[in-house]
């Protein structure tokens, strides 16, 4: 056993469903050692609330597990809370706790202790209420790892969708799609498909920005002036890029059956299709980092915390994706 087979799991917002997901997942054995970076007290209390008998096993630097935990047990790197947690009730006092779990996981990946990290959802608002500037996992990990540019990609079985722009108002999207940005995102997508997914020559379908991909300039000139010249430049570097294609016909079996990923221009161009295909069984992957990070595709679901009425399917897919990426990594 090497440390490259060990993975970190962060439960995210303690008042949300993240702790529940970790405990439900622990009912079955995982193929690799998995360490939850969390409050042992929190997990113990949540297990009691859910009526689960989960054996919480100690793990820490210098005492990493060498084998997967048996079914019904979970390795925990105890990370103390700042305040008592009540399911469904946010408390900004625990914002520092959430960030400490992420720091421990991310730094552990950088140090080679963990082969990758898998994250349950955080609540951005309550962290900001604590006076901590925080815009999300992606940006936090980019800063931690000193990464200038990252790319959001969501994936489910049979479909991967990466985004040129992410959380922007629609009125700002066209201006944000510059040749420089498009080239940077496409290069990161191509490189990580090769290096972290083991795809030797990835085939990437690229969406146009406008309806009908601009229809020869009659419905917008972004394709002619920005997208097409950039794609041609990148093809000269060896990237296999097909497009720009109209998004309404790109997302059909005729095209998708022959590609490894889709590059969409904006959030609601690509992600509705992916979530329709795989909601509850999709994973968010941060590309461009020097570490492997996957996440669930849903939020904290505060109203369901402690209820037992949740599905851990997305977390299981996030784990499986991290395992596959670590095995494929070059």
**Domains of the chain in sequence order:** 7-147+298-329 (3.40.718.10), 151-275 (3.40.718.10)
Is residue 149 helix, strand or coil?
coil
Strand order from edge to edge, sheet including 240-245: 55-58, 73-78, 34-38, 7-10, 116-119, 293-296, 282-287, 151-156, 159-163, 261-264, 203-207, 240-245
Task: For tokens 């299709």, name the residue.
Answer: 273
| Known binding positions for substrate | 137-138, 275, 284, 293
Residue 195's pLDDT is what?
A: 95
| Alpha helices (H) along the chain | 18-25, 40-50, 95-110, 124-129, 137-144, 170-176, 179-195, 222, 228-235, 247-250, 253-256, 267-278, 313-328
Q: pLDDT for 61-93, tens place per residue?
A: 999 999 999 999 999 999 999 999 999 999 999
Q: What are the two backbone dihedrals, phi and then psi, of residue 289, each rounded to the nearest 5 degrees?
A: -75, 155
Phi, psi of 83 (to 5 degrees): -150, 155
pLDDT for res 138: 86
**If you search the block for the tokens 């060498």, which residue do you land on?**
66
Query: Residue 1: its pLDDT value, please?
Result: 36
**DSSP string over 110-146:** HTTS-SEEEE----HHHHHHTT-----HHHHHHHHTT
Q: What is the pLDDT of residue 285?
A: 95
Is the pLDDT reported for residue 175 higher than 90? yes
User: Which pLDDT belongs to residue 4?
Assistant: 43
- Tell me the binding residues for a divalent metal cation: 167, 212, 267
What mean pLDDT is reported for the chain? 94
User: Which tokens belong to 275?
Assistant: 């979530």
How large a percentage of the chain has pLDDT more than 90?
90
pLDDT, tens only, 210-264: 999 999 999 999 999 999 999 999 999 999 999 999 999 999 999 999 899 999 9
State mean pLDDT over 287-310: 94
pLDDT, tens digit, 9 for 90 and up, residues 185-217:
999 999 999 999 999 999 999 999 999 999 999
**Would you state the pLDDT for residue 36?**
98
Burial class (CB in 10 A: 0-12, 13-18, 19+), 257: exposed
What is the Cα–Cα distance from 244 to 3, expressed in whole angstroms? Answer: 42
Binding-site residue numbers are: 137-138, 167, 212, 267, 275, 284, 293
| Closest by Cα among 139, 129, 68, 133 to 102 | 139
3-class SS of residue 69: coil
33 touches 69 (CB < 8 A): yes
What pLDDT shows up at residue 134?
Answer: 87
Peptide bond before residue 184 is cis, with ω within 30 degrees of 0: no
How many residues in the chain?
330
pLDDT band at residue 330, thresholds of 50, 70 and 90? low
What mean pLDDT do residues 34-53 have?
A: 97
How many CB atoms are located within 10 Å of the residue 181 CB?
15
Task: Show the DSSP H helices in 251-295 as ranges.
Answer: 253-256, 267-278
User: Residue range 131-151: average pLDDT?
Assistant: 91
C-alpha–C-alpha distance, residues 290 and 146, integer Å: 9
User: Residue 278: what pLDDT?
Assistant: 87
The Cα–Cα gap between 283 and 321 comes to: 8
What is the structure's pLDDT at 2? 41
pLDDT at residue 297, as a whole number: 86
Decide: helix, strand or coil at residue 166.
Answer: coil
Q: How many CB atoms lie within 10 A of CB 309?
A: 10
pTM: 0.90
Three-state DSSP state, 244: strand
Instruction: Provide the pLDDT for residue 167.
Output: 83
Q: Using an 8 Å Cβ cutoff, are 69 and 34 in contact?
A: yes
Angle at 310 between CA 308 and CA 313, to 5 degrees: 135
Model pLDDT for residues 1-33, shown as the tens digit of each residue: 344 489 999 999 999 999 999 999 999 999 999
pLDDT category at 309 given cuts 50, 70, 90 is very high
Spatial neighbors of 58 by CB under 8 A, at least 6 apart, are 75, 76, 78
CB-CB contact of 46 with 23 (8 Å): yes
């Amino acid at each position: 056993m090497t440390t490259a087979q060990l993975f970190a799991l962060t439960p995210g917002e303690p008042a949300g469903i993240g702790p529940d997901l970790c405990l439900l997942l622990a009912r079955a054995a995982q193929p690799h050692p998995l360490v939850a970076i969390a409050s042992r007290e929190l997990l113990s209390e949540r297990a009691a609330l859910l009526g689960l008998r989960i054996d919480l096993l100690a793990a820490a630097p210098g005492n990493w597990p060498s084998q997967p935990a048996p079914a019904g047990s979970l390795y925990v790197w105890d990370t103390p809370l700042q305040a008592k947690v009540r399911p469904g009730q946010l408390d900004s006092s625990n914002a520092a706790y959430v960030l400490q779990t992420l720091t421990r996981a991310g730094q552990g990946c950088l140090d080679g202790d963990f082969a990758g990290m898998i994250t349950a959802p955080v609540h951005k608002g309550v962290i900001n209420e604590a006076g901590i500037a925080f815009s999300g996992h992606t940006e936090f990990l980019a800063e931690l790892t000193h990464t200038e540019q990252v790319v959001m990609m969501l994936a489910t079985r049979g479909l991967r969708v990466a985004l040129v722009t992410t959380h922007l108002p629609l009125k700002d999207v066209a201006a944000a799609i510059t040749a420089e940005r498009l080239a940077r995102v496409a290069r990161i997508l191509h490189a990580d498909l090769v290096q972290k997914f083991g795809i030797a020559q990835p085939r990437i379908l690229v969406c146009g920005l406008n309806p009908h991909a601009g229809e020869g300039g009659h419905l917008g000139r972004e394709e002619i002036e920005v997208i097409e010249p950039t794609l041609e430049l990148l093809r000269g570097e060896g990237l296999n890029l097909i497009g720009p294609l109209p998004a309404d016909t790109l997302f059909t079996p005729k095209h998708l059956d022959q590609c490894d990923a889709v590059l969409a221009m904006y959030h609601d161009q690509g992600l509705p299709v992916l979530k329709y295909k795989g909601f509850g069984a999709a994973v968010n992957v941060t590309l461009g980092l020097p570490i492997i990070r996957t996440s669930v595709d849903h939020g904290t679901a505060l109203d369901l915390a402690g209820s037992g009425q949740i599905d851990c399917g997305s977390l299981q897919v996030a784990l499986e994706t991290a395992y596959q990426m670590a095995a494929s990594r070059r």
